[in-house]
Chains A and B, each alone.
Chain A
Amino acid sequence: DQQVKQNSPSLSVQEGRISILNCDYTNSMFDYFLWYKKYPAEGPTFLISISSIKDKNEDGRFTVFLNKSAKHLSLHIVPSQPGDSAVYFCAASGGNQFYFGTGTSLTVIP
């Protein structure tokens, strides 16, 4: 049973434009959410996180939005750069275990 879902397997965006990656979860007990970025043949690297007491967290070009009522979070990348091309995973936790989505492959076109 997939508790964290990323319904878009892939996304293509022009360089300089905004990339929006979406993630939905089913467990209302989740209170900590993270985004990871993964290049081929490498492990995922932490990008940004948000606690359930917030609805927005920014770090440079990356902003994560959390809508608890909709059980939805999104990652905004502005402006998108070719080096952002990677697979992005969202993850959620309500205890000491993380649940990951299936990933969205982002391609930023120069």
Chain B
Amino acid sequence: KAGVTQTPRYLIKTRGQQVTLSCSPISGHRSVSWYQQTPGQGLQFLFEYFSETQRNKGNFPGRFSGRQFSNSRSEMNVSTLELGDSALYLCASSQNPGTYGAELFFGSGTQLSVL
């Protein structure tokens, strides 16, 4: 069974640009969550989609947005990039997160560098 696939693996952008990250979940998983990891900050929750609907949203500005398609694939968009957006962005899929036994499965992440 294929794991969670995130593309691209690395991205270099400049301030003010926008970026789109992609995530393909494990087959059969309907939930996709996005996290931002920066040194010392752990994994900060961005948002979660389940069956194309955003169910939960973290405390990030509106420049961060996402969507989920009917095949459960998800995209995350960051507009007007700032230097502080440089981070590892992780996508995780699950059958139904929070349910006992339904842990998150993570992709390898997209390392975004904003110059």
Contacts and interface: CB of A to CB of B under 8 A. Distances in A.
Interface string A36-73: 10000111111001010000000000000000000000
B81 interface: no
Interface of A: 6, 9, 32, 34, 36, 41-46, 49, 51, 89, 91, 93-103
Contacts of B96: 96
Given A43-B90, A100-B35, A100-B42, 20 more contacts: A32-B98, A34-B104, A42-B108, A43-B106, A43-B109, A44-B43, A45-B106, A46-B103, A49-B100, A89-B43, A91-B104, A95-B98, A96-B48, A97-B45, A97-B97, A98-B97, A99-B45, A100-B43, A100-B45, A103-B42
Contacts, number: 73
Interface of B: 4, 6, 31, 33, 35, 40-45, 48, 50, 55-56, 90, 92, 96-101, 103-109, 111
B42 A96 contact: no
Contact of A96 (B40, B97, B103, B108): B97
Nearest to B10: A41
Contact of A32 (B43, B100, B108): B100
**B interface SS class:** strand
Contacts of B100: 32, 49, 51
Contact of B56 (A45, A89, A97): A97
A44 B90 contact: yes
